Amino acid sequence: MNTRQQSKLIYSWYGKRLSSDRKLRTSQYKGILITSESTKTETCIQLGDFILVEGVNADQPYVAQLMDLYEDGAQHKRAVVQWFCHLEEIPQNKRKLLKREISAQEVFFDQVLCYDTDIAAETIIKSVMVLPLHLGEELPVITLNKEQTFYVRQSWDGKCFKVLSPDTFSKLKEANKKRGVITNSSKAFIPSDILTPVKKETESVVRSATKSKNPDMEIESKHSTSKSSLAKERHSQRVANNDIKTPTARKKLELNSPTRSKGRLLGCEVLGLLDDDCDAIAPLEPSATKRKVKFTNEILGSPPKIPCSNDKSKSTPETAEECQRFSDAMRFSPYTKVKDFSEKDKNLHEKDDILSLVGYQKPSSQIPVLTPRSRRTCAQKTSALIAEQISMLDQEDFLSGSDSSYSSSSEEEEDDDMPCTPEKNPKSSRIFSTPKSSKKSAVRTPAKTLKKTPLQGTPRTPRNATPEIPRRIQAAQEPASVLEEARLRLHVSAIPESLPCREEEFQDIYNFVESKLIDGTGGCMYISGVPGTGKTATVHEVIRCLQQAAENEELPPFQFVEINGMKLTDPHQAYVQILEFLTGQKVTATHAAVLLAKLFSTPGPKRKTTVLIVDELDLLWTRKQNVMYNLFDWPTQKNSKLIILAIANTMDLPERIMMNRVASRLGLTRMSFQPYTYKQLQQIVSSRLKGVKAFEEDAVQLVSRKVAALSGDARRCLDICRRATEICEVARQKRTPEIVRMAHVTEAIDEMFSSPYVNAIRNASLHEQIFLKAILAEFRRAGVEEATVQQIYHHYVALCRVEGLQSPTVSEIMAICSRLGACRLLLVEASNKYLHMRVRLNLSQDDVMYALREE
Amino acid sequence: MRHPARPSSARAPASLREPRMQPVRRMKPSAMSKRKLKESNAESAENISQVQKILRERFCHHCAAGKLFGMEQQYRHLLELLKRTTVHGESNSALIIGPRGSGKTALLNHVLKDLREMKQVRENLLEVHLNGLLQTNDKVALKEITRQLQLENVVGDKVFGSFAENLAFLLEALRKGDRTSSCPILFVLDEFDLFVHHKNQTLLYNLFDISQSAQTPVTVIGLTCRQDILELLEKRVKSRFSHRQIYLMNSFDFKQYIKIFKKQLSLPAEFPDESFAQKWNNNVQHLSEDKAVQDVLQNLFHHTKDLRSLHSLLMLAGSTVTVHHPLLTAADLQEASRQHSTDSKANIVHGLSVLEICLIIAMKHLTEVYDGEPFNFQMVYNEFQKFIQRKAHSMYNFEKPVVMKAFEHLLQLELVKPLERPSVRAQREYLLMKLLLDSSQIMDALQVYPNCPTDVKQWAASSLSWL
């Protein structure tokens, strides 16, 4: 542990060592104490507690139960946990097995064996509640800190969901109970999440105090800005430290808290906020923060370590507590509800029906959404009305705040692209969606419904649009004849059952990835080959097989990400796409780079291996080559678990365009795909045509030989065959048998490969031909392959006299010249030079002569 | 009577000696005399205006209604291609290559029109039309595609979001579709060669890649006049292109050209006044057999097979049709041909003053003496002075500023072109210039120059005539 961390959060053992193993030099403990030095707050987490663990995605911590705590030989604090998994961690295709809707607070008892249950103790964030429920049981509706309570109904073992076994169920129940006992009995360390209403009360006191000072809603907005700025600060610090546990922002927040528990709550609240506007850049108002700090200091009159506040809370009259709880629930429930949804929205691949539900709910829950913002204005139960009013007033302010955060987070030159939604309220006219779900919400509401309700304050949100092409109205016809069937199979897009002629390469790549997967390490492989040699197809085939193997549990599961340099607008967009694939976050390129670096450099306990395909690698080249550098640097890090398959056209790309440090990181695992030989091409075609007698054997061979001689591009071969079937079909109308013969294939080849120039010259008009002749004559005279129009003109006039034609005017010559220039038979200068325009031939003189002589 | 809505020719008539070519001046008397017109006259006026309307539509609007000539095979190929896309959902890519005016767009429009009328196709094809001259980079092109497809991120008629987002969105949309269920999309890229110059050819790569993979069925049709288009494609883009090229070459001979001429001029069967149509068509038939007309057409055909120039010739000829001159004559066509082929630069020379002509002659001599090397004003002035002092009887010796003024006029007319941009430092007299006229053009122009002094003519013929 380094000192930097110690200054922020200290993890120390709680209680005495339970047992120790001399041999392994490990010692076990019953609890861990997390102390934040600056705020002097402490949290104790004991065995059997449920905890949140830092995850891949900063917004989505993992849930686990603490099973064991020990210190290993190297004095590292370790923890053994029993995982619970969120719905998002379950593979897409398996989610259907649930057959019910899952709330964001529901987790599954994780029985997948492949996850590492031994984690570093420093990754523990805080403790939470996990309540076991029976399958049929409803979720308890009213709960206080909903953020910190999870429910478990079923277990997940990587294949299917099971009802919790009675044994587990009772264990979980027991753990909860035990915890409760500990909580009550412990005199100094109270886990943060006991359902004490005092938190709320103290909080509301604080807020009412604030209110009395500045009774306007100005505070409101300032508060929210300061909050978001804090969130941002915390976030940026996280990012800057590039580490798992640097909750400096949390420390800051705890400054505000009169008691530990309060600090906790605020902390998690901000964490919650972090979900939504994690990169919001709201203008920081120093006065607001300052005032706040000062104020909390006043309140902080009670020393934080004194537990009397808690005792006091217990003595609060029962009725008041009831009321308090009720009003809280009243105010909180809509807020959390929407939050649930927004959280869910992050998960892009949610079931459609849920999402559409969100779409309908959104407008109706607009106003309630705002209430939590104003809850500090109500200290007593009677203040519910005031809250409502203020929230109404607040709406504008708040919305504009969220708007600014949105616009600044959007990258590139988006600002001028803001749609001006035709709304009456000019202030809120630039808002995209409800504030809570403005970020990365993928609510798949049909655009139409949104358009219908612009008055309800739901602006049309291009953000939420589904990328979809309309469906066709009439059904596509299936192939009717043998030739049509053949054509369908010969289309490049048709996916063959197997990839013939690439077995060796397939096996090499498969072995490479498989070995890395089993070892749980990272690595790079560079694959090169000219276009159309099956590089991408082979790699995809490998991935498909690996995925199948992973599904059959022969291999550890992995994540598969693909990026294509040609499909990026800018090399740096690669980061954005990778991050979006991995975590579903949408952030700017620079931010994504930082997040990814963090992700791949830290040991994620539950992270799967990532297989990343980088197609068209050469386009990721930048002047500083930082994109390539980063890509190839990650796999070399110890905990990255990243396998990169880089694909490009040229064999010597690493030597040619990469800097030494990039090329060195790429390593020497290379593979090059040779162009197909004619036999291979023949095999490819005939394997696709298996069972369809549409081609003569010789015809296929002719195509294969022709293509192999030219480029060895399988796409070309298939295209020619496809064209040959079309030609055959046209010819068939004259009652010839429908089989593609040599003649058809020859015609198709000629069509594709014949030089267009000769034909173009032969079909040119007489004067155009004479002009070309004049050019040749001038070239021969001058001995230079370039001439001005004026020079050519003299030859031209002479040639016309020989041919007995009326010699054309200069304007006509210029017209001819520019016509030939437009076809690129000639290369000409800009035409404003008129007679002094220089002219060159775009093809060899021999070609011109050949084309002109034939007639 | 002259119809007020007489179609004006695209090319301004070079010579206005023919009074009929001046519509404005004739307008008034024709309106005045209208009242006195007889019944029959009114009728023929109606006919003439009909004829003019039909011809104008044919020659000026390059509409799909016009007929296709000599491209039946290409038509069938393209129609089959697009039919397969719409009916079977087969992805394809093709290029239509041909010189300007060879009917690429006309062919495509024809095919699309016929395709839309087919029962199996109706409403089953999304079309996206892009033009390289309008969509000058991929960002604009992407927005336009998204807008034309009316995807869900289109608000009203606008597309928002960054380039990267739009690309990702469009690709995602296309990737999600499949052959049997998604509506096929036809991408028409006019001026395809300009798309090639976009950065990395991202758009082309993606379009061709989609056409070669099992996604939403798309057909990409590119129209271009460049024969070397395939060499411009990057190798991986080229590999993804199916290499289907449809060439339009204007590959008809003169007999067909005459037929086209007849078809373009003759009136359709549904013309209201049948007897007039009959008369007109007979006249067209006669014209096409006339030797003089055939010579005119042959000349044009030798110059260019482009049908647009035939249109502009017929436009010039057709504009002479009036009530008093209801039928075209061979002379009309000859006159039109003369106008059509006049030399624009030489025409400018006709309007110059004698001093300016003298300067041009001086420049011509300088160019000949120094074998095409550039000259400056001072050299021209000296040459002019020599002529004035030794030979000229009729010419007044102008002062240098006046000569300079005349020289600058020539500069403005672009008969002379400076080699480099005029800078502040260089004196105007010493700027290097080049003459943009050929000596043969100057001599031709002098032949027809009215009232040219004899000594100037002699001087023009030989720079040494004063010896």
Higher pLDDT, A62 or A411: A62
For range A378-385, the mean pLDDT: 46
Q: What are the chain A neighbours of B179 within 8 Å (beta carbons)?
A: 476, 493
Residue A423 pLDDT more than 80? no
DSSP bridge pairs for A838: A788
B interface mutation test: which of A472, A481, A573, A833 has the most B CBs within 10 A? Answer: A472
Contacts of A756 in chain B (CB under 8 A): 97, 227, 245, 247
| Partner-chain contact B245 A763, CB within 8 Å | no
Once rounded to an integer, what is the mean pLDDT over residues A22-45? 74
B151:A797 CB<8 A: no
Given an 8 Å threshold on Cβ–Cβ distance, is A488 in contact with B88? Answer: yes
Kindly list the residues from chain B whose CB atom is less than 8 angstroms away from the CB atom of residue A619. 200
Q: Do B346 and A809 touch (CB under 8 A)?
A: yes
The reply to whether residue B120 touches residue A619, judged by beta carbons under 8 angstroms, is no
Residue A186: closest CA among A55, A31, A80, A304: A31
Residue type, B103: G
Give the residue, A171 or A400, on which the prediction is more confident.
Answer: A171
pLDDT band at residue A2 using 50, 70 and 90 as cut-offs: very low
Q: By mean pLDDT, which of A474-483, B26-35, B97-106 is the weakest?
A: B26-35
Instruction: Please state the rounded mean pLDDT for residues A283-295.
Output: 40
Of A418, A616, A842, the CB nearest to B160: A418
Whether A411 sits inside 8 A of B162 (CB atoms) is: yes
Spatial distance between the Cα atoms of B314 and A548, rounded to a whole number of angstroms: 71
Beta strands in A474-566 (DSSP E): 523-529, 558-564
Rounded Cα–Cα distance for residues B245 and B233 (Å): 14
DSSP secondary structure string for all residues of A119-132: EEGGGEEEEEEEEE
CB contact under 8 A, A419 and B169: no
Q: Of B164 and B67, which is predicted with more confidence?
A: B164
Most confident of the ranges A405-414, A519-528, A595-604: A519-528
* Residue B454 binned pLDDT confidence (cut-offs 50, 70, 90): confident
The whole-angstrom distance between residue A297's C-alpha and the CA centroid of its chain comes to 42
3-state secondary structure (DSSP) of residue A342: helix
Region A101-115: what's the mean pLDDT? 73
Which tokens hold the place of A243?
Answer: 């580490």
Please name which of A91, A69, A95, A99 lies closest in space to residue A81, comparing C-alpha atoms.
Answer: A69
CB A196 within 8 A of CB A310: yes
Considering only the beta carbons, identify the residue of A484, A764, A824 that sits closest to B228.
A824
| Distance of residue A310 Cα from the nearest chain B Cα, in angstroms | 51
**Which of A57-66, A194-203, A307-316, B25-34 is predicted most confidently?**
A57-66
**Chain B nearest C-alpha distance from A417 (Å):** 5
Q: What is the mean pLDDT of residues A613-642?
A: 89
State how far the Cα of A278 lies from the Cα of B93, in Å rounded to an integer.
44
Residues of chain B found within 8 Å of residue A790, distances taken between Cβ atoms: 372, 438
**Does A111 or A785 have the greater pLDDT score?**
A785
Identity of the residue in B97, B171, B183 whose CB atom sits nearest the CB atom of A472: B183
The model's pLDDT over B196-219, given as tens digits with 9 standing for 90+, comes to 999 889 999 999 999 988 888 999
What is the rounded average pLDDT for all residues in chain A? 70
pLDDT digits (tens, 9 = 90+) for A558-610: 989 999 999 999 999 999 999 998 888 888 999 999 999 888 888 776 778 88
The reply to whether residue B89 touches residue A466, judged by beta carbons under 8 angstroms, is no
Give dist(CA B351, CA B366) in Å, integer. 23
pLDDT score for A356: 40
Q: pLDDT: is A594 or B28 the higher one?
A: A594
Residue A48's identity, in one-letter code, is G
For the cut 90, the answer to whether the pLDDT of residue B222 exceeds it is yes
Closest-CA residue of B relative to A421 is: B155
> Is there a contact between B155 and A616 if contact means CB atoms under 8 Å apart?
no
Q: Nearest chain B residue to A569 by CA: give it.
A: B164
Mean pLDDT along residues A113-132? 75
Residues of A with CB below 8 A from B219's CB? none
Distance CA A561, CA A643 (A): 10
Tens of pLDDT, residue by residue over A776-792, are 999 999 999 999 999 99
Inter-chain CB proximity B214 and A494 less than 8 Å: yes
Could you give the count of Cα atoms lying within 13 Å of A748 in the half-sphere of its Cβ? 31
Q: What is the pLDDT of residue A434?
A: 38
| Residue B225: per-residue pLDDT | 92
Q: For residue A110, give the amino acid letter.
A: D
Q: Do A414 and B228 touch (CB under 8 A)?
A: no
Put simply, the answer to whether A465 touches B153 (Cβ < 8 Å) is: yes
Cβ B183–A797 below 8 Å, yes or no? no
Taking an 8 Å cut-off on Cβ atoms, the answer to whether B91 and A493 are in contact is yes
Give the rounded distance of the alpha carbon of A554 from its chain centre. Answer: 27
Asked whether the beta carbons of B94 and B245 are under 8 A apart, the reply is: yes
pLDDT band at B249 (very low <50, low <70, confident <90, very high): confident
Q: Do B436 and A726 touch (CB under 8 A)?
A: no
Residues in B touching A471 (Cβ below 8 Å): 181-183
Is B62 or A799 the better-scoring residue by pLDDT? A799
Q: A163 pairs with which residues across the strands?
A: A154
Averaged confidence pLDDT in chain B: 84
CA–CA distance, B426 with A183 (Å, rounded to integer):
95
Contacts of A805 in chain B (CB under 8 A): 302
| Predicted local distance difference test score (pLDDT) of residue A369 | 39
Do A383 and A389 form a contact (C-beta atoms < 8 A)?
A: no
Task: Report the share of chain A in percent with pLDDT over 90.
Answer: 22
Residue in B123, B158, B372 closest to A419 by CB: B158
Give the per-residue pLDDT at A720: 93
Instruction: Of A298-307, B55-64, B163-172, B424-433, give the range with the top mean pLDDT.
Output: B163-172
Tokens coding A383: 């203040």
Contacts of B242 in chain A (CB under 8 A): 715, 719, 722
Q: Would you put residue B327 in left (φ > 0), alpha (ψ -120 to 50) or beta?
A: beta
Residue of B nearest to A563 (CA): B168
- Cβ neighbours around A49 below 10 Å, total: 26
Q: Chain A closest CA to B46's CA: distance in Å?
A: 38
Backbone region of residue B51 per phi and psi (left: phi > 0; alpha: psi in -120 to 50; beta: other values):
alpha
Higher pLDDT, B274 or A382: B274
List chain B residues with CB under 8 Å of A463: 153
- Give the mutation candidate from B123, B155, B192, B201 for the A interface (greatest A CB count, under 10 A): B155
Q: How does B341-372 read in b/e, with b if 16+ C-beta sit within 10 Å?
A: bbbebbeebeebebbbbbbbbbbbbbbeeeee
| Chain segment A216-264, per-residue pLDDT in tens | 444 444 444 444 444 444 444 444 444 444 343 443 444 444 444 444 4
Whether the per-residue pLDDT at B441 is higher than 70: the answer is yes
Judged by DSSP in three states, A274 sits in: helix
Least confident of A480-494, A725-739, A746-760, B96-110: A725-739
**Complex ipTM, two decimals?**
0.87
Mutate: best of A469, A650, A651, partner B, most B CBs <10 A: A469
pLDDT for residue A737 is more than 70: no
Nearest neighbour of A469 by CB, restricted to B167, B180, B182: B182
- What confidence category does residue A141 fall into, taking pLDDT thresholds of 50, 70 and 90? low
pLDDT digits (tens, 9 = 90+) for B186-199: 999 999 999 999 98
Distance CA A145, CA B167 (A): 41
Which two three-digit tokens encode residue A668?
């020497």
Measured between beta carbons, the chain B residues lying within 8 angstroms of A412 are: 162-164
Looking at residue B39, what is its pLDDT?
62
pLDDT digits (tens, 9 = 90+) for B306-319: 888 888 899 899 88
Residue B431, pLDDT > 50, answer yes
pLDDT at A172 over 70: yes
Tell me which residue has tokens 């984690």. A119
Q: In this predicted structure, what is the pLDDT of residue B362?
A: 92
Of the candidates B177, B226, B441, the beta carbon closest to that of A824 is on B226
Count of A-B CB contacts under 8 Å = 246
Rg (CA), chain B: 30
Residue A512 pLDDT grade (very low, low, confident, very high; cuts 50, 70, 90): very high
Of A460, A723, A806, the CB nearest to B299: A806
Taking the CA atoms of chain A, what radius of gyration do you get in angstroms? 36
Separation between Cα atoms, residue B247 and residue B49, nearest integer Å? 38
**Residue A381 confidence class, pLDDT cut points 50, 70, 90:** very low
For position A694, what pLDDT does the model report? 85
- The whole-number pLDDT of residue B460 equals 87
Nearest CB to A414 within list B161, B302, B414: B161
For residue B115, the chain A residues in CB contact (below 8 A) are: none
Of A44-48, A405-409, A736-740, B234-238, minimum mean pLDDT range: A405-409
Record the pTM.
0.70
Give the containing element (helix H, strand E) for B324. Answer: none
| Higher per-residue pLDDT: B380 or A238 | B380
| Lowest model confidence (mean pLDDT) among A16-20, A350-354, A475-479, A584-588 | A350-354
pLDDT for the residue numbered B194: 94
Q: Write the CA distances from A156 to A61, A91, A171, A547, integer angstroms.
A: 18, 11, 17, 19
